[in-house]
Chains A and B, each alone.
Chain A
Amino acid sequence: MITAKTAKNLPPHPMDSLLRTERIPHIWCPGCGIGTVFSAVIHSVKNSGLDPNNIAMVSGIGCTGRMAGYIRLDSFHTTHGRALPFATGLKLAKPDTKIIVVSGDGDLLAIGGNHFIHAARRNMDLTVICVNNLNYGMTGGQQGPSTPLGAKTTTTVNGSPEEPFNFCYLAAACGATYVARWTAMQVRSLRSSISEALDKRGFSFVEVITPCPSSFGRRNRMGTALEMLKFYHGRSVIRSDIDPRDASMDIDREIVVGKFVDIERPTFMDHYEKVNRLNSPQWRAMHPDQKAR
């Protein structure tokens, strides 16, 4: 087991330049899927060729929120659900910075749901990675907006009486320019989707179905982390480019994975510049060289 003491003696890792190695070991449980997603994000950042000083990570609260504390980028661990509006302000202040928002299912789509639909509607130029572990992990495994109907959590001991959101369908309906879903087992596809999402102008969204063996898996008798990984992978069916409404997310039947949306749409800043260029003589005076996008 790696402890704070032994971590110091580990040989260098190729991704060390993007890690706050002095903060290792991390707080995530053994078998948690966040590590896989974190690793995929770091690989995509490294392979993007972008200057790391021009990339920032913004997170909210929860297990996934802690990612911001381990990545050696400008990183902001904000309040529960508010990563997207914080990132919106940051992006508008620094339009040339690439901003990655990492968020759990509860953070992004329960407490932060309103911000999610509006950030997607505005087409804010942000890359949003959602780690969906089907429950609130940090607080010990409560029901959330992604918890499957009938699933057991500490607040739904008889089974959840609510139907969950389909995040990818929601993102697409709200106007996201890129939408993909993978399970944590499909690492290569996940990395390539995160890379595509990083390249994409506009609101790009990647959902990852991850095991939470300590809470969701334990309460629903899903076995070890590896068994959970295999279970989700086994339920997954790759169907890229289908209508997002058909991209079902049902752990009892099928988890449709793949890339569902990849479109071009003007961003908030594109529109902001356009309306002001058209209607404000002062704006035109300030930006004489600006061309229509």
Chain B
Amino acid sequence: MSAKEVKTGIHFINGDEACCEGALAAGCRFFAGYPITPATEVAESMSRRLPEIGGIYIQMEDEIASMAAILGASWGGVKSMTSTSGPGFSLMMENIGLGICTETPCVVCNVQRAGPSTGLPTLVAQGDMMQARWGSHGHYEIIALCPSSPQEMFDFTVRAFNLSEYYRLPVIILADETIGHMTERVVIPPEEEIEIVNRRKPAVSREEYLPYEADADGIAPMANCGDGYRIHVTGLTHDERGYPAMDAKAQEKMVTRLVDKIRNNRDKIITTKNLFLDDAEVVVVSYGISARSSMQAVQDARREGIKAGLIKLDTVWPFPEDLMRGVAAQSKAMIMAEINGGQMVLELERAACGACPVRLVSNYGGAILHPALILGSISKAAKGKL
């Protein structure tokens, strides 16, 4: 009667459920959350599954508490996550910053809906891209992954945990309502085939251990609460001992490391899926559900004889600017397809830096992008009409 931690097999489940299964497969054993459409099914799945395998599900009083609780659980040595959508994501921002500053591994799944404010609770959007990047105050780097299918909800959730454990920060899954609620085939591999990364433990004694002294790759080994290291963890600017250090020099040193541990490893973090890129003249860049509309549009364009290509961003943050710079230099035009007023297109423009025209295909949310809309933009770009 024992339940399986990894539900190896072929399933027909929605994206939110796939996210839950990915988390459990990655070793997540603590979930704190608050109901919100369209992410509720992540919490519901967790509430059913976690007790089966000895984990803890707790419904907190709000999303502020949920984010705080997963940080606490992570310091207790348990892999933890929460899920939410726009309004809840806004409430989580302060404690995401605490997670960044204290270098706490955890995962936040934001199943995006249309905003601002309560917006369209049941309908799709991709309007939280910049909030995921800059939503908490101060300067930092973040990792955010954008799944385009329930299968990727599973795969990327596993990867989100691995990245969070390795790089020691909250990793964000930027899903969207359509992907969260879409039911598709999800293949969960055998347990031994799923790569699992666990946080690096200190290799020295309590007397020698400096909680925030990084190894050569910029990552500091992490002692959990109760390991006997008697750590101090603070959201104040701190030194290698973890003690508050209230001056510009300490700030420079700490933030440089927080930023560099991501920036200097971005080749290892960033993944994209590229289609027809070798000879593409017009390149569409997209992510999440919009990448699927884009894929249809690019295939339709090819049938019409247009040399179109696609870059699907698996990792939106850090943004693959080196790739974009190279592609822009060889392209007639690049098009960003996204469901917001133009957020990632700003990054694309920055990376392209005038090497080719960059255009946006978008709406403000409530409906996915029709492939015909993107195809229209591709056709125009191919004819040099932009």
Question: Could you tell me if B2 and A285 are in contact, using CB atoms closer than 8 angstroms?
Answer: yes
Question: Could you tell me if B232 and A88 are in contact, using CB atoms closer than 8 angstroms?
Answer: no
Judged by a CB distance under 8 angstroms, whether B250 is at the interface is no
Question: Could you tell me if B56 and A92 are in contact, using CB atoms closer than 8 angstroms?
Answer: yes
Contact with A along B234-271 (1 / 0, CB 8 A): 11100000011000000000000000000000000000
Judged by a CB distance under 8 angstroms, whether B333 is at the interface is no
Question: Could you tell me if A286 and B77 are in contact, using CB atoms closer than 8 angstroms?
Answer: no
Judged by a CB distance under 8 angstroms, whether B347 is at the interface is no
Question: Could you tell me if B77 and A93 are in contact, using CB atoms closer than 8 angstroms?
Answer: yes
Q: How large is the interface on A (under 10, 10 to 19, 20 to 34, 35 or more residues)?
A: 35 or more
Question: Could you tell me if B54 and A77 are in contact, using CB atoms closer than 8 angstroms?
Answer: no
Judged by a CB distance under 8 angstroms, whether A172 is at the interface is no
Interface-facing stretch out of B10-18, B57-65, B146-154, B322-330: B57-65
Which residues of A are found within 8 Å of B234, using beta-carbon distances? 68-69, 76-77
The complex places the Cα of A200 from the Cα of B326 at a distance, in Å, of 64
CB proximity to A under 8 Å, residues B28-82: 30, 32, 51-54, 56, 58, 60-62, 64-66, 68-78, 80
Question: Could you tell me if B73 and A114 are in contact, using CB atoms closer than 8 angstroms?
Answer: no
CB proximity to A under 8 Å, residues B266-302: none
CB proximity to A under 8 Å, residues B79-105: 80, 94-95, 97-98
Question: Could you tell me if A58 and B72 are in contact, using CB atoms closer than 8 angstroms?
Answer: yes
Which residues of A are found within 8 Å of B3, using beta-carbon distances? 282, 285
Question: Could you tell me if B1 and A281 are in contact, using CB atoms closer than 8 angstroms?
Answer: yes
The complex places the Cα of A54 from the Cα of B52 at a distance, in Å, of 27
Question: Could you tell me if A286 and B53 are in contact, using CB atoms closer than 8 angstroms?
Answer: yes
Q: How large is the interface on B (under 10, 10 to 19, 20 to 34, 35 or more residues)?
A: 35 or more
CB proximity to A under 8 Å, residues B190-240: 225-236
Question: Could you tell me if A115 and B75 are in contact, using CB atoms closer than 8 angstroms?
Answer: no
Which residues of A are found within 8 Å of B227, using beta-carbon distances? 53
CB proximity to B under 8 Å, residues A80-134: 82, 84-94, 97, 114-115, 118
Question: Could you tell me if B232 and A69 are in contact, using CB atoms closer than 8 angstroms?
Answer: yes
Judged by a CB distance under 8 angstroms, whether A220 is at the interface is no
Residue of A nearest to B2 (CB): A285
The complex places the Cα of A52 from the Cα of B1 at a distance, in Å, of 39
Question: Could you tell me if B69 and A88 are in contact, using CB atoms closer than 8 angstroms?
Answer: yes
The complex places the Cα of A268 from the Cα of B30 at a distance, in Å, of 15
Q: Contacts A72-B230, A280-B52 known; A78 to B98 CB distance under 8 Å?
A: yes
Binding site for B on A (CB under 8 A): 20, 22-23, 52-54, 56, 58, 68-69, 72-79, 82, 84-94, 97, 114-115, 118, 268, 272, 276, 280-287
Binding site for A on B (CB under 8 A): 1-3, 30, 32, 51-54, 56, 58, 60-62, 64-66, 68-78, 80, 94-95, 97-98, 225-236, 243-244
The 5 nearest A-B residue pairs measured at CB: A93-B76, A89-B72, A89-B69, A85-B65, A90-B72
